[in-house]
A = this chain, B = another copy of it.
Amino acid sequence: MKGGATAPPGGAPGVIGRIEHTNLRPEASAADVDRLCSEAVTWGFFGVCVNPARVARAAARLEGTGVRVVTVCGFPLGAGLTETRVLEARHAVEEGAREVDVVIPIGRLKDGDAAGVAADLAAVVRASKAANPSALVKVILEVGLLTEDEIRSGCRLAAEAGADFVKTSTGFGPGGATPENVALLRAAVGDRLGVKASGGIRQYRQALALIEAGADRLGTSAGVSLAMEQRAAT
């Protein structure tokens, strides 16, 4: 599976190794970002997920640690111009982001403009990988705003655009990750793309259920408490 988490030590379900420790709050301070990075190193999380304005800082803090910097693009509304999104993705990768989570153009998907969505996503993927060929791109579907048909169509367009992952939610919209919508994404992309569950992940048991349903990665701001639960459970 593309970009999937490595098997955890001891054969545990590997919640910790799949966590993208996330702080996308607009009011997050530099000190908050620094703490997020320290916690990710301490606990051995897969990565941190921060806003574009914090990528350079996080990349500097995490250099040499193996913890990846993930950021977002066109976030959280997916209602920007392609030119802006392309520049945002390119800058983010140039500043040290290894992965870019881009919101699908939600309105264009609603309009049925598949060609427009495909062209937009392909441009973001191209810009990210031009800046660093090993950069990964995840397409956020914001499933709470989409019909099942739109979700399937979005997954297909993400795959065709050369994205590496699909992702359930921004965490700022309605709804979040459920085993049902993770399974829907997994069924839509098969084993060609990774699946990231995000939005409202707070409990270890819930994280296990999402992994069981097909999630390779977990985007959550509750990483430390999930990790403590995993420690206690294994």
Contact = CB atoms under 8 A, between A and B. Distances in A.
Nearest to A106: B26
Interface in A97-113: 103, 105-108, 110-111
Interface in A21-36: 24, 26-30
Given A80-B88, A83-B87, A84-B91, A111 B53 contact: no
A79 interface: yes
Interface residues of A, number: 35
A145 interface: yes
A54 B87 CA distance: 19
A105 to B, nearest CB: 7
Question: Which of A27, A92, A95 has the most CB atoms of chain B within a 10 A radius of its CB?
Answer: A27
Interface string A52-85: 1110000000000000000000011111110110
20 contacts: A24-B79, A26-B103, A27-B110, A28-B79, A28-B110, A30-B107, A30-B111, A51-B80, A51-B107, A52-B79, A52-B81, A53-B81, A54-B79, A76-B76, A81-B91, A81-B92, A81-B95, A83-B91, A84-B87, A84-B91
Given A24-B79, A81-B91, 7 more contacts: A26-B76, A28-B107, A29-B111, A30-B107, A76-B77, A83-B91, A84-B88
